[in-house]
Structure 1
Amino acid sequence: MSQIDRRSALKLIGAAAAVATSPSQLFATPNGNWLELDARATKHKLHNSDQALPSDLWGYNGQICGPTLRYKQGETARIRFTNSLVEPTSVHWHGIRIVNAMDGVSGLTQAPVQPGETFEYEFELPDAGTYWYHAHNNSWSQVARGLYGPLIVDPVEHTPLPAEQDIVLMLDDWRLDANGRFDEQSLGALMDWSHGGRMGNWLTVNGQSLPKIKLQQGAPTLLRLVNACNARILEIDPNRFGAKIVGYDGQPVKGEPKQLAYKPLLLGPAQRVDLLVQPREQFALEEVSGEPFPFCFFEVGTGGLPAAPYVHPKPNNIPLPHPEDRLKFQINMTGGAMGMMGDITYQGKKLEGEDFQRTKQLWAFNGTANLAEQPMLIARRFETVELDVINNTAFMHAMHVHGHHFLIEDRDGDGVEQPDHWRDTFLISPRQSTKIAFVADNPGKWLFHCHMLEHAAAGMTSWFKVLS
């Protein structure tokens, strides 16, 4: 977030009073009851200064952000979703190795849920960790309006930390106007689609401005950070407040929690990081690109119940890629402003001249924009897939693989610092190449796309098929 954006927002709408808040939670019961989730319009003040006006937003169960859905590992999620919006939508369960029919991708795994209709999502939860759910139809607009929430899967081998030691932090940037309201009119701007995506000028945590959260002194506390921004890569330095890394994208780090060996931590759109703190004094979560900008405050006090101990979770059962027997595929990313537009084909037609502005298809994988009729690759079940992704654009991208977790094996031929960390979304810099590998053990049609949501809508979306 640029310093100009911060200062503009503060100057126009004043400093916000801090509040303490956390998302509501919906717990599954042992008999596997159906949880009710609906998408509907709601009003919410994104900036809680006296001058700011409520915004017209969309939320799950009328909340910004949506309720935390909480399960035990191995349980079956049963979620009855109702669309109370004025346009079709669907729900994607991000990062969960899910049965394909329940992945929630409109136009690929299901038809979008029409206004007034209901869809029942039912799927097993194989992995413990931090996940989230969000709209997956016109995501660039629907997620920007507030359609997202956290989903937490607790491990079965030990009792989870109590609520006061387990804090979910959904981080989002919003583009606010001079009255502190959500700038709806700027949705779909061609400048955003062709450049770095939609960037906001104000950060919230769980839908609130500059919250204060109370922690118990010395108590091991898990901070679950989820980047729900449309396009912003957040820069955070956990070492500034003595935090250790517990997990990435829902998967625990190997061994014990680790101190970040470099700085800052880049948290891209859709990525998650779990941090472990044992606070001794008050501290703040800061965005550290340029001058540090504190956006979430932690007050540390004594007293209360004895703290529960932290137990590092066991690794989830994800198959390791075969070192040699692999299906290898190269993806050349092109397009966007100041980049290599090259030849782009959309819906079987080569784009020329005014076609780009008319279709808003500005990015491509191997020369093809958006979902093609045929998959970019077809893998046998249990076959190891190696993707060599080359970013021939002028922008960084957050690449997400549906239905699988992968290992990042190489960047620019120099290897990687964390070869054993599972991810479901990876960042790739301009002119960089990145190699990832995973076992295609989940049959169905799976998306591969940029999670800068404007980039995905403008062409950076493809799919692959895993045979049953």
Structure 2
Amino acid sequence: MRNIHRRTLLKGAVATVIMPAFTRASTSEILLRAKPASVQLVDADHPQTQIWGYNGGVPGPQIRAVQGDQIALRLSNDLVQPTSVHWHGLRVKNSMDGVPGITQKAVLTGEEFLYQLDLRDAGTFWYHSHNRSAEQVARGLYGVMVIVEPDAPDVDRDIVVVLDDWRLDEVAQISEPFGNLHDHSHAGRLGNFIHAMFDSLPAQMATNERLRLRFVNTATDRIMPISLRGVSGWVVARDGMPLKKLEPLGILTLGPAERADVIIDVTAEHDGEVLLIFHDRNQGYVLNDFRVSGAAATVRRPKPTPLSPNPIETLVSVAGARTIPLRMQGGAMGDLQEGLYKGKMLSMRDLVDQGQIWTLNGEAGLPVEPLFETPLHATIVFEMRNDTAFAHAMHMHGTHFQEVLPNDTFGPHKDTVLIQPGEARDFAFVADNPGKWLIHCHMLSHQSAGMKTWFRVG
């Protein structure tokens, strides 16, 4: 059993914040104004933190819609930097994916861009800046999207929980500079203030109450291992995609950008408590504690059934599939000697001078030519191999992939996968969405320092 502490984490703190109210999608446009703002991140003994947020908050407005909806969202840029919005995990048209240099031009200061999205899948998704994202996401430019299935499960409450960390100074301001060599070459920009933000914070819970919790890790670089105490439950979806077989809930490890939906029953008795715990090494730190009062029912409900699947092709075989190696190299304590950057082969020292510290298949930065091109409906297998000393959260735009397991079996659909040092794992997908698609490490410090590439479908 790991030790549980009710105290500060590292040199910072853990805390609870209530998120801004959500916006229901409708036939009218939703305005997302990227602008500077002030929010009370830390307790009232500290000043408000200067952030960049959508509509002045962090997270930005929660967008709720129904599977099958078509929605329009207008980005207005009031920042001093160009920006864009990427709809993480949504299978949208390529022109709406929000990646400057790949699918659109960055939106300049004072300009706007209209995103029009067809919501094919139900689940928990999020949106964030994809221009200078290691800085802009760290400053607060992100929000959550909940796409509701027509046959939603029977729960008493449906709650979004956003996990994030911030690097703050002694007066609760975002600590700069961004992009220092140590962050880029190690585990990334790790904050000293970790918190959980709830879209509706229950004053208390009741025995046998059933809740759906939608966890989203929005941290730029930090892996979030969390657990719940005083409950029993199941993981029902990952990265917005329902699981065919529910997973028992234990310690839930979410890499940057990963999501997980869980359904829990409160098992703590009257006057007990439910704890949300963050795990770091051999210690546990209480992010939240909720008192339990009374009972919602005399007995627990039956185990929930799996959620309805989304309309995405499920693999049954990779026979005859094209294989694409994806080798991760570089960083501190790595063995990378040289790499290709902007068409030139550079030594590791020269790559570092260019701010490039990581490579995919021996190339740093966004290549001019695609990693590969494929016709529509072909099956592709990424042979991922992590030859670095650090974990990487590999994210693919455009669709979801499945891990290739023994005996022609496959893991659940995912858009982001955490690959540990020394691991070699294969992930396959059907190229069903035409366009130019990015694949990169969602440790955003690693992406900024070279770990990104792209491919073309159709």
Residue 250 (1) aligns with residue 240 (2): yes
1:258 partner amino acid:
E
CA drift at 1:250: 0.3
TM-score normalised to the size of structure 2?
Answer: 0.90
User: In structure 1, what is the equivalent of residue 287 of structure 2?
Assistant: 295
Q: Return the match for 1:182 from 149, 153, 174.
A: 174
Residue 168 (1) aligns with residue 168 (2): no
CA distance in 1, matches of 2:121, 2:313: 13
User: In structure 2, what is the equivalent of residue 69 of structure 1?
Assistant: 63
Where do 5+ consecutive residues of structure 1 fail to align? none
Question: What SS does the corresponding residue of 1:112 show, helix, strand or coil?
Answer: coil
CA drift at 1:79: 0.6
User: In structure 1, what is the equivalent of residue 73 of structure 2?
Assistant: 79
Question: What SS does the corresponding residue of 1:105 show, helix, strand or coil?
Answer: coil
> Which structure 2 residues correspond to residues 148-297 of structure 1 after superposition, within 5 A?
148-156=142-150, 158-159=151-152, 165-183=157-175, 185-206=176-197, 214-238=204-228, 241-255=231-245, 257-260=246-249, 264-281=251-268, 282-289=273-280, 290-297=282-289
1:332 to 1:73, Cα distance in 2 relative to 1, 3 A: same
The question of whether the paired residues in 1 share the 8 Å contact of 2:19 and 2:59 is answered with no
Structure whose residues are more often strand by fraction = 2
CA distance in 2, matches of 1:207, 1:144: 19
Structure whose residues are more often helix by fraction = 1
TM-score normalised to the size of structure 1?
Answer: 0.88
User: In structure 1, what is the equivalent of residue 343 of structure 2?
Assistant: 348
The question of whether the paired residues in 2 share the 8 Å contact of 1:83 and 1:118 is answered with yes
The question of whether the paired residues in 1 share the 8 Å contact of 2:275 and 2:289 is answered with yes
Question: What SS does the corresponding residue of 2:266 show, helix, strand or coil?
Answer: coil
Alpha carbon RMSD of aligned pairs, Å? 2.7
1:417 to 1:258, Cα distance in 2 relative to 1, 3 A: farther
1:308 to 1:144, Cα distance in 2 relative to 1, 3 A: farther
User: In structure 2, what is the equivalent of residue 317 of structure 1?
Assistant: 311
Percent identity over the alignment is 38
Where has structure 1 moved over 4 Å in runs of 4 or more? 159-162, 302-312, 415-418
CA drift at 1:187: 1.6
Residue 379 (1) aligns with residue 374 (2): yes
CA distance in 2, matches of 1:374, 1:236: 40
> Which structure 2 residues correspond to residues 15-26 of structure 1 after superposition, within 5 A?
21-26=18-23
Listed one character per residue, the Cα deviations across residues 333-372 of structure 1 (whole Å, up to 9, x for unaligned) are: 1100101223211111222365333311010011111111
The question of whether the paired residues in 2 share the 8 Å contact of 1:149 and 1:170 is answered with no
1:173 to 1:94, Cα distance in 2 relative to 1, 3 A: same
CA drift at 1:179: 2.3
The question of whether the paired residues in 2 share the 8 Å contact of 1:334 and 1:342 is answered with no
CA distance in 2, matches of 1:104, 1:38: 15
CA distance in 1, matches of 2:386, 2:152: 43
| Aligned length in residues | 444
Q: Return the match for 1:389 from 384, 387, 394.
A: 384
User: In structure 1, what is the equivalent of residue 119 of structure 2?
Assistant: 125
1:332 partner amino acid:
R
CA distance in 1, matches of 2:41, 2:275: 20
1:356 partner amino acid:
L
CA distance in 1, matches of 2:429, 2:230: 34
The question of whether the paired residues in 1 share the 8 Å contact of 2:228 and 2:277 is answered with no
